[in-house]
Structure 1
Amino acid sequence: MTPLIASAAPARTTGATPQQKELTIAQKLELYNIARRTWQFFDADADPVTHLPMDNIGFNGAPAKGTYTSPTNIGVAFWSIVSAKDLGLINRVDALKRANALLTEVEKLSKWHGFLFSWYDTTTGHRISGPGGTDQEGQPATGAFISTVDSAWYATGLIATRQVFPTLAPRATALLNAMNFGIFYDNGDQNQSNTAGQMYGGYNADQGPANFHYGVLNAETRIAAYIGIGTHSMPGDVWWRTWRTLPADFTWQGQTPQGYNATYNDPQSGKPFTVFEGHYSTNGINFVPSWGGSMFEGLMNNLVIPETSWGPHSFGLNDRLYAQAQQAYSTQTLNYPVWGLSPASTPDDTGNYDAYGARNMASNKTCCPYDETAVTPHASFLALTVTPQKAFENIQQLRSRYPGIYGPYGFYDSVNPTTGQIGHRYLVLDQAMIFAALDNALLDNQMQRHFAADPVIAAVHPYLSQENFSLP
């Protein structure tokens, strides 16, 4: 009997709704089998020379290999080595060897003030202009876009590495400390600008910040606020100045937000901030909306930040309600037999990618709505720790209704729930979300616990714990 199975517990029923009951031993066994197959992807995906993760692998006529990578891809590749060790799929010696090889290559990559550029060729490690683009190694960095959110997900890979592999910690810490996330913070006059105190979406090397902000807190981009606060390179203002819902006078947003004002004292500075605790509602469920209504916007952070336990009245609560709202919207409003709207490969073999989301849950509904014609399996895995029974049921439904969706490396990236057409690709980002979610679901939130032990992540605990969203 493996340690994983020995630690499994029967479903808990007291105080839990049916969809919140814990996973049974039989269900965990099934998920563990999925984890074993999913891990094979990461073996195939790592370049044998540079050890960098390729962006994607395709079958059935889809592009065979995306031999390019990004800071986010690199960050989640570190997670995946950690998860494989946690789940007993590789031993600690092998895991350390893999993490060291990847870290060694990352140390060699060209950077701007410690930040990775947007794209690299996985066969050479050279900076490139974009997927399939031209070699830019050695060229001036001026004007190159440094992504806020990509840099933050890269940082999470370094945090995981230093927590799990102590012998690599000095090197991972040196790479982390080389980045000053303060360049992404808008330190303008908060009395004059409603976006001052928020994060810019990026930075143009040697020139200045990007011309757009991350205005919505419930998005995957909040990882950068966590990292900025935790490294003390951004003040806590960024947490309070970023909106729960867009201001009510933004009449183009998806719904008129409901809620009330609440005042909090910042845990680090003690400054008071008045926040509009707003929410939307769909299918009878209240939730704090994301930008596009996708599952990964709402729940990706919960893979590594213990939102479920640290924010029982804020994001911990919203993560659960958000998942329930998307489940209801997909099955009741769209009448799909399965749910899981989140950015993914298009459900064909063109190799294209699109943003999918539930429009009734989106801030952008009336300006630039996401598509609703594809379901992606990673969305179900993201929900395993907040609605475990519903998530497991949907995973099983995907396999039974669309048998072709389960391939050599686990679940392919997307399916059209109406036609059954499948996108036969594996994306390292989506596979890594599945894998980290399984680590949490099977091992009592092990991935979250790795991060919770790090001082950068521990610093954000009081922000999550003291806030109360306007959710009954």
Structure 2
Amino acid sequence: MKWLTLAFLFFGFNSCVESQEFSNSNQPQESLSDEELLDLIAYKTFLYFWEGAEPNSGMAPERIHMDGIYPDNDEHIVTTGGTGMGLIGILGGIERGWISREEGFQRFSRMVSFLEKADRWHGIWPHWLDGKTGKVKPFSQKDDGADLVESAFLIQGLLVVKAYFENGNDGEKELALRINRLWREMEWDFHTNGKDVLYWHWSPNYGWEMNFALEGYNEALIVYVLAASSPTHPISPLAYHKGWARAGGIKANDSGAFGYRLQLKHNGAELMGGPLFWAHYSFLSLNPNNLKDDYADYWLENTNQTLINRAWCIDNPNGFKGYGENLWGLTASYSINFYDAHRPGNDTGVISPTAAVSSIVYTPKESLKVIRNLYKNFGEKVLGPYGFYDAMSPEHDFFPEKYLAIDQGPMVSMIENYRSGLGWKLFMKNPEIQQGLDRLGFTYQVPQ
């Protein structure tokens, strides 16, 4: 019956249609309810990870450009982190009847088979892989090996998939065991390099030369949670408290704006918070509801960061066209200077739809205003076959028909978390994750 409803939303008649036919209609329907609108946007964004997937690996392409023009001809390059971010959205597709459970199982099996054979070092994948061969595609000269952060984004999604299938039929149980094997092979402790902190990169050719320590606060909280939760290669809690939390230096004094307080020092953006993906990436699976430690209440932190971001756009100190209650949201995305980590204080007049859409868990009414405005008033300029395009700007008449996996994934997965809590429930019921959170001194919500 779901397909009948969706067909009606797009075509105004009550008959089943093929998914490709369904995805091609972007004309606004005036009478959509909020739930119907979320159905539409979630489904289209899901298609990025379903129909848009790289054929051999089943993984998410780093980017999809509707003009077919790719830098370095990299249309076959897949992203580890971006793939992980969309996995909850694929599970949501099963739950909502967009694909069958068997179809989802087969896709996840293809991904896992690819990842088992793909380049890894100490169990950690690189940022980019060639979807045809499984060989590393260097992100930069020295970023040609293990990427701990992107691998964390990948495995957090895979652990949700594991929980979804682990009590299923024999084939599904075997898939869960294979994911568990990948999880157990990840050597988180290696990435401390013998110190009380985690390091982002290790290269088989350059070792630790990039020397990028993961110190908070930014998007990488999930890395420490997973590293502390590892059943085989856990880190010491000291790495979290002395490294990530900077021996307490992560706590903010007098930070915040527009009447909203921030508890943490956002790296390089202490007063008004960083780009909004800092409130998204770590929390696609890690439930921020009632999540607290010695440094912050993470629901309050993420909500206030979102509200500051929104208030900045409404205040609009630069007078950019279109900004307001119905058009806000600054985060990393394509931009007028190719790519930029937009945030309050670094605002080029470019709105990234993923910012408000992925924040729907924190600001549902405010985010829905943006979704409806984009859908109703901008239409095909911002909405394509795989959901909202990556960026837009009325100020600069900038409407690129381009997608990035790391922005599509949070949208489809956070919409599902807002509607059902699916990803949060499955991840948080993992006893290893609970043990890791306990080790780091968190209190958290146990799923019922």
TM range (shorter): 0.7 to 0.9
Call closer, same or farther: CA 1:92–1:214 in 2, change over 3 Å: same
| 2:239 is the alignment partner of 1:238 | yes
Q: Specify which structure has the higher proportion of helix.
A: 2
- Tell me what 1:265 maps to: none
1:301-353 per-residue CA deviation (whole Å, 9 max, x = no partner) reads 222101123339611111111111111012114352321111112259xxx43
- Tell me what 1:263 maps to: none
Aligned residues: 388
1:10-25 alignment, distance < 5 Å: none
Q: Specify which structure has the higher proportion of strand.
A: 1
Tell whether the 8 Å contact from 1:220 to 1:300 is kept in structure 2 after alignment: yes
Call closer, same or farther: CA 1:284–1:464 in 2, change over 3 Å: farther
| 2:396 is the alignment partner of 1:419 | yes
| Partner Cα separation in structure 1 for residue 443 and residue 249 of structure 2 | 13
Tell whether the 8 Å contact from 1:300 to 1:382 is kept in structure 2 after alignment: no
Q: TM-score, normalised by structure 1?
A: 0.74
Tell whether the 8 Å contact from 2:188 to 2:235 is kept in structure 1 after alignment: yes
* Aligned partner letter, 1:39: F
| Partner Cα separation in structure 1 for residue 358 and residue 143 of structure 2 | 35
Call closer, same or farther: CA 1:316–1:165 in 2, change over 3 Å: same
Call closer, same or farther: CA 1:433–1:284 in 2, change over 3 Å: same
| Partner Cα separation in structure 1 for residue 193 and residue 348 of structure 2 | 33
Tell whether the 8 Å contact from 1:86 to 1:439 is kept in structure 2 after alignment: no
| Partner Cα separation in structure 1 for residue 201 and residue 261 of structure 2 | 31
- Tell me what 1:55 maps to: 62
1:416-443 per-residue CA deviation (whole Å, 9 max, x = no partner) reads 2423411211112211111101111121
* Aligned partner letter, 2:35: K
| Partner Cα separation in structure 2 for residue 276 and residue 49 of structure 1 | 43
Structure 2 gaps, min length 5: 6-31, 167-172
- Tell me what 1:317 maps to: 300
| 2:211 is the alignment partner of 1:211 | yes
| Partner Cα separation in structure 2 for residue 97 and residue 395 of structure 1 | 32
**Superposed CA RMSD:** 3.0
Call closer, same or farther: CA 1:239–1:417 in 2, change over 3 Å: farther
1:318-397 alignment, distance < 5 Å: 318-334=301-317, 335=319, 336-337=323-324, 338-346=327-335, 352-359=338-345, 370-397=346-373
Tell whether the 8 Å contact from 2:124 to 2:148 is kept in structure 1 after alignment: no
Displacement after TM superposition at 1:289 (Å): 4.2
Tell whether the 8 Å contact from 1:402 to 1:420 is kept in structure 2 after alignment: no
Tell whether the 8 Å contact from 1:28 to 1:442 is kept in structure 2 after alignment: no
Q: State which of 68, 73, 86 in structure 1 corresponds to 2:77.
A: 68
Call closer, same or farther: CA 1:423–1:390 in 2, change over 3 Å: same
| 2:148 is the alignment partner of 1:174 | no
Displacement after TM superposition at 1:62 (Å): 5.0
Tell whether the 8 Å contact from 1:305 to 1:451 is kept in structure 2 after alignment: yes
Q: TM-score, normalised by structure 2?
A: 0.78
Displacement after TM superposition at 1:80 (Å): 3.5
| Partner Cα separation in structure 2 for residue 325 and residue 65 of structure 1 | 36
Tell whether the 8 Å contact from 1:303 to 1:433 is kept in structure 2 after alignment: yes
Displacement after TM superposition at 1:225 (Å): 0.7
1:176-218 per-residue CA deviation (whole Å, 9 max, x = no partner) reads 1111111222654xxxxxxxx332222233764342312223x
* Aligned partner letter, 1:58: H
Call closer, same or farther: CA 1:426–1:113 in 2, change over 3 Å: same
Q: Per the alignment, in what secondary structure is the counterpart of residue 344 of structure 1? A: strand
| Partner Cα separation in structure 2 for residue 129 and residue 306 of structure 1 | 32
Displacement after TM superposition at 1:172 (Å): 0.5
Structure 1 gaps, min length 5: 6-24, 134-141, 189-196, 247-272, 360-369, 468-472
| Partner Cα separation in structure 2 for residue 143 and residue 408 of structure 1 | 32
Q: Per the alignment, in what secondary structure is the counterpart of residue 300 of structure 2? A: helix
